[in-house]
Amino acid sequence: MGRRYDRVLLKLSGEILAGKEHFGLDYEAIRDICAEVAEVAKQGVQIAMVVGGGNIIRGAQTTSVERAQADYMGMLGTVINALALQDALERLGCPTRVQSAIEMRQIAETVIRRRAIRHLEKGRIVIFAAGTGSPYFSTDTTAALRASEIGADCVIKATKVDGIYDRDPTKYPGAVMLPRISYMDALSMQLKVMDAAAFSLCQDNKIPIVVFNMLQKGNLRRLLIDGEDIGSTVC
């Protein structure tokens, strides 16, 4: 075994940053996540990140506000999360850049593909914020898009479960984990791990998706440095 990916796109949900509170920012949880990321980055893996905003606001589920407006609100939530991650990573000695799809020059660079790649080549972690910059697109689709743009070897979807199951394991105790599944099967089974646009984009660009439990300490290192078969792979 051994290292199998040189450049990866790590997709974090906003909820995972909320820890046990389910809302807002749990700084202890953020420090734990960033410690795992920092360990891998310091061993030479180039890491870009996309973070959701569901711990602050989830645009698609905000029915009291017009959908496009709600999505923009959600994008701003991802910027808050990106800045929190940047602070935690830099406290751990990892140089980091935040790139936002919505221009806000005082706090983040604008997303520029070639600049992001150059940051990665220099050993900096790049955090992509504000989704695609357009409403009606999820941060899962953003992750697939940014992974394609930077030439990532893999999209890594960090979750609270061990991998992809044939049914929701929280509702069905007999749910079976699927260690390996094709893009087409993931689409036809309507698995909720990522949306259809994200699956299709990764399929078109031949980017595998690994779904794993980020809360299990050491899993990221085992996956990226030790080359262990962790979680489920869509390919």
pLDDT of residue 59: 63
- Tell me whether residue 53 is annotated as binding: yes
Q: What is the pLDDT of residue 60?
A: 65
58 is in an annotated binding site: yes
Whether 41 maps to a domain, the answer reads yes
d(CA 26, CA 59): 21
Could you give the number of structural domains in the chain? 1
Q: What is the pLDDT of residue 168?
A: 82
Position 31 pLDDT exceeds 80 = yes
Question: Considering the domain boundaries, does residue 1 fall inside one?
Answer: no
Helix (H, G, I), strand (E, B) or coil at 109: strand
Query: Bridge partners of 129?
Result: 100
Question: 225: helix, coil or strand?
Answer: coil
Does residue 118 carry a pLDDT above 90? yes
> Does the structure show a pLDDT above 70 at 1?
no
Please give the C-alpha separations between residue 76 and each of 58, 102, 115, in angstroms, as whole numbers: 11, 9, 22
* Residue 186 clears pLDDT 90, i.e. is over it: no
| SS3 label, residue 186 | helix
Contact between 82 and 142 (Cβ < 8 Å) = no
**Full-model pTM:** 0.95
Q: Is 63 assigned a ligand-binding role in the annotation?
A: no
Q: Are 67 and 59 in contact (CB under 8 A)?
A: yes
The answer to whether 64 is a known ligand-binding residue is no
pLDDT by residue (tens digit) across 40-74?
A: 999 999 999 999 999 998 766 677 889 999 999 99
Cβ(231)–Cβ(210) below 8 Å: yes
CA angle 128, 19, 207 (to 5 degrees): 40
Residue 111 DSSP one-character state: P
183 annotated among ligand-binding-site residues: no
Task: Look at residue 132 and tell me if it is in a domain.
Answer: yes
For the ranges 109-118, 124-133, 171-180, which has the lowest average pLDDT? 171-180
Residue 14 labeled ligand binder: yes
Strand 232-234 versus strand 180-181 pairing type:
parallel
In a domain, 2, yes or no: no
Does some domain include residue 124?
A: yes
136 marked as part of a ligand binding site: yes
From the number of C-beta atoms within 10 Å of its C-beta (0-12, 13-18, 19+), residue 105 rates as exposed
Query: Residue 159 annotated as binding?
Result: yes
Residue 170 reports pLDDT greater than 70: yes
Q: Is 133 annotated as a binding residue?
A: yes
Q: Is residue 210 classed as helix, strand or coil in its secondary structure? A: strand
For 208, the domain range is 7-234
What are the distances in angstroms from CA 187 to CA 77, 138, 191, 202?
A: 28, 16, 7, 12
Interatomic CA distance for residues 91 and 79, integer angstroms: 18
pLDDT band at residue 16 under the 50/70/90 scheme: very high
19 known member of a binding site: no
Q: What is the mean pLDDT of residues 130-150?
A: 97
The answer to whether residue 70 is domain-embedded is: yes
Residue 165 assigned to a binding site: yes
Tell me how far apart the alpha carbons of residues 9 and 152 are, in angstroms, rounded to a whole number. Answer: 6
Q: Are 9 and 49 in contact (CB under 8 A)?
A: yes
Residue 161 domain-assigned? Answer: yes
User: Domain containing 120 — which CATH number?
Assistant: 3.40.1160.10
Beta strands in 43-130 (DSSP E): 46-51, 96-100, 109-110, 125-129
Residue 91 assigned ligand-binding role: no
Q: Is 139 annotated as a binding residue?
A: yes
